[in-house]
Amino acid sequence: MKSLGSKASGARLERMQASPRWAGEGFRNRHPILPGLRDPTAPMPTWGDFLYAQERGIPARPLPALNPLDAWRRRPDSGLRVTWLGHSTVVIEIAGVRVLTDPVWGPRASPLRLAGPKRFQPVPVALRAMPPVDLVVISHDHYDHLDYPTIHALAKSEVPFVTSLGVGAHLEAWGIDPRRITELDWWESYELPRGGVRVTAAPSQHFSGRTLKTRNATLWSSFVVRSQRHGLFFSGDTGLTTEYGDIRARLGPFDLVMLEVGGWNAAWGDMHLGPDNAVKALTLLDAAAFLPVHWGTFRLGLHDWDQPAERLLELSPRSQARFIMPRLGEPVEPALASGQIEPWWRSVDRAEQPVLAAPAEGALPDVAPWPLD
């Protein structure tokens, strides 16, 4: 199945094995807080938990969204603007260039067309309508961050890719010219040909793999995007780690940090942040502003679809950073944002969701009882 991707070999594999992060048969976190990043004291969710116990796992109708195309035709007044398109897909406009993070336009976070976690929120702009971007950044190879249909479409363009060690094997298998692919280990950087923009891979605490047999065969990273005037931090997927202090010291300060807040579960321990740990990470990063990502698109956890947003609304007064929580497709300039949160998600109907039927034997339902991302 082509959507599974490809394994690294040859010179690519040799470079991966030379990384300080490589141990034995794959990559390892620097600080494995818990074995396998899981909390053994919390019970793992079951199929039944996902299929029957969550009445508000998805919204009753699509979320409010804006079409950003008109705004994108004008340069940001401050020189820095971001547009959240859903989940971890963000358009960053900095120093006259556009950087696109973890682009996912596909219908499912899954290798299958008809099964697996299904998108409940459309992207506010079609991929074919997107203006040219100068760089695509891929944090790691999980399905809700590395999407085969999207990459297959982008292969027809000339856009370069920056990603973590080993992920280039997937991109090459899907038609991306290897000359357009740059794979980074933590603390390594890539300079865009114009704009004076540098992208640096940084630590995160997670895992990788598109099959159970390829767990941790590629690296996972956060990324810092910096120009002469501005700096941004993009978490990718991660749990809470003291390495955020190292990132701030080496690559800060940050005008904006984008941290994952959704798709978490207590049993998954330190592989995801969730809203509470995102605020703790925000303190370690000492950022001026905070844009939460990794929510509002797929059902990847047991919590209500709007739980991350509601919890951040509670936590925001305790932070010195400005919380930026725009509608999907709403361009925002962090320097001009007030930090006052409008809970727009409350306008969505909260009708009771239908009970889902149990999956057929061997089938993958629209939700996942293990962390796919």
- pLDDT surpasses 60 at 366: no
C-alpha–C-alpha distance, residues 251 and 289, integer Å? 16
Q: What is the pLDDT of residue 57?
A: 85
Whether residue 110 contacts residue 299, with contact meaning beta carbons closer than 8 Å, is answered with: no
C-alpha–C-alpha distance, residues 281 and 259, integer Å? 8
Return the number of other C-beta atoms located less than 10 Å from residue 23's C-beta.
12
C-alpha–C-alpha distance, residues 88 and 183, integer Å? 19
- pLDDT surpasses 80 at 118: yes
- pLDDT surpasses 50 at 100: yes
Q: Is the peptide bond before 253 cis (omega within 30 degrees of 0)?
A: yes
Whole-number mean pLDDT of the chain? 89
* Distinct helix (H) and strand (E) counts, the chain: 8, 15
Q: What is the pLDDT of residue 54?
A: 56
Return the number of other C-beta atoms located less than 10 Å from residue 131's C-beta.
11
φ, ψ dihedrals at 69, nearest 5°: -60, -45
* 119-143 pLDDT tens trace: 999 999 999 999 999 999 999 999 9
* 45-70 pLDDT tens trace: 666 655 544 567 899 899 999 999 99
With CA atoms as reference, report the closest residue to 168 among 201, 133, 202, 138.
Answer: 138
Among 9-13, 168-172, 366-370, the range scoring the smallest mean pLDDT is: 366-370
Tokens 């040859």 belong to residue: 10
DSSP state of 372: -
User: For the purposes of burial, counting CB atoms within 10 Å of the CB of 191, is it exposed (0-12), middle (13-18) or buried (19 or more)?
Assistant: exposed
Q: What is the pLDDT of residue 362?
A: 35
Q: What is the pLDDT of residue 267?
A: 76
Q: What is the pLDDT of residue 31?
A: 78
DSSP state of 108: B
Q: Is the pTM of this model over 0.75?
A: yes
Q: What is the pLDDT of residue 43?
A: 64
* 206-230 pLDDT tens trace: 999 999 889 999 999 999 999 999 9
- pLDDT surpasses 70 at 361: no
pLDDT band at residue 349, thresholds of 50, 70 and 90? Answer: low
What average pLDDT does the segment 360-365 reach?
A: 35
pLDDT band at residue 271, thresholds of 50, 70 and 90? Answer: confident
* 240-264 pLDDT tens trace: 999 999 999 999 999 999 999 999 8
- pLDDT surpasses 80 at 34: no
Residue with more model confidence, 86 or 40: 86
Structural domains in the chain plus CATH codes: 2-40+66-122+132-347 (3.60.15.10)
Measured CA to CA in angstroms, residue 289 lies from 73, 186, 244, 262, 369 at distances of: 24, 24, 15, 18, 33
pLDDT band at residue 44, thresholds of 50, 70 and 90? Answer: low
Q: pLDDT over 70 for what percent of the chain?
A: 87
Whether residue 60 contacts residue 349, with contact meaning beta carbons closer than 8 Å, is answered with: yes
Half-sphere exposure of 31 (CA within 13 A, CB side): 15
